[in-house]
Structure 1
Amino acid sequence: MSLLSDPEVVRYIGNGKTRDRNGGKDFLNWIYNTYEFCEDMGLMVLVNKEDNTLIGHAGLVPQTIDGNKEIEIGYWISRKYWGKGYATESAKALLKYGNKQFDRQRFIALIQPNNFSSQKVARRIGMEIDKKIILGGKDVNVYATK
């Protein structure tokens, strides 16, 4: 659960608060429920190929935005691995997989306005701001593929 207990990692995830063991279990249950909704979606574990250490999580997550069903490209990376390109690599791979698996071109990323690193990742994979919404009481930019 170390990723969920790191305040810098979770700052822009959900309510931005760290999770204790029970909160971590609730979050994992949410992830598992995503798999039941659609077996081709959900957050996956990212592992360093050299030493099998946890890098983070990334995946395709079903979302409903303004009544529309969307697929979010989501990622969160351990602070130790920030700035090494793992989020961009994951997002590119997820976009390619999603295009093929779901035969669609539109994917989104839900990014808070001050999360500049994730904004860069979104732009690198061809996304731009589509609209601004309030989600869970927070301002969120909806980035979308063109």
Structure 2
Amino acid sequence: MIKDVETFPVLETNRLVLREVKKGDANSILKYMSDIEVIKYYGLEPFKTINDALSEISWYQSILNNKTGIRWGITLKGEDEVIGSCGFLNMIPQHYRTGIGYELSKSYWGKGIASEALEAVLTYGFEHLKLQRIEALIEPLNISSQKLAEKQGFIKEGLLRNYEFTCGKFDDLYMYSLLKQDFDILQKDKLSIK
């Protein structure tokens, strides 16, 4: 699915540029990943040092190198500061399946930015990576993330009980999925509304 990429794919939307995250973005990532509200459902403790942010960037690079995922930094057009990220993880090429994750600086919540970024990444996944199924694992208390996924057409399939052990506790997670044919129907519906 993810071939050897000579240049990282940059995605543009009306308001955003989604680009590769570099070491120089560590301060921006530390800023929002140290916010307890942003990181609440991320499965990690809030970041405390620049090394925490550098480790996150290193993970982004490792999933790309290992062809198991790709993570974009979210920036506003005309500004280069990373305000969040969105991308694929746990890719399973033989099944044309991947997971998706996202987070956004609290300063930008409620402005449609996460939805705009998520739609761009989903489009890339279905059109360029030829995915059939994209999954989102969301904690039951993370209502805003559930609403975001549902707005993009994800269907809640069920509850995975004690699915992950993070931050010293077992977490239940809802399994959401979006299939290629569902995505195509939603895109056609959006075009017919315009």
TM category, shorter? 0.7 to 0.9
Report the CA distance between 1:70 and its aligned residue: 3.8
- Please give the per-residue CA displacement for 1:1-35, whole angstroms capped at 9, x wherever unaligned: 112111110001013x2022233333222222111
- Please give the per-residue CA displacement for 1:37-92, whole angstroms capped at 9, x wherever unaligned: 128x322111111433332111122257xxx8841221100000000111111111
Distance 1:135 1:70 in 2: 19
Q: 2:127 aligns to what SS in structure 1? A: helix
Distance 2:136 2:117 in 1: 13
Equivalence map 1:103-118=2 (5 Å): 103-118=130-145
- Unaligned runs of 5+ residues in structure 1 are none
- Looking at secondary structure, tell me which structure has more helix per residue: 2
What is the aligned residue count? 141
Name 1:42's counterpart in structure 2. 70
Structure 1 residue runs of 4 or more that deviate by more than 4 Å after TM superposition = none
Distance 1:70 1:111 in 2: 17
Report the CA distance between 1:98 and its aligned residue: 0.5
Distance 2:75 2:32 in 1: 13
TM-score of the superposed pair, with normalisation by structure 2: 0.66
Q: 1:102 aligns to what SS in structure 2? A: coil
Report the CA distance between 1:104 and its aligned residue: 2.5
**Aligned-partner residue type, residue 172 of structure 2:** D
Name 1:88's counterpart in structure 2. 115
TM-score of the superposed pair, with normalisation by structure 1: 0.85
Equivalence map 1:55-66=2 (5 Å): 55-62=83-90
- Indicate yes or no: 2:39 matched with 1:6: no
Aligned-residue identity in percent: 30
- Unaligned runs of 5+ residues in structure 2 are 1-29, 180-194
Distance 1:28 1:90 in 2: 19
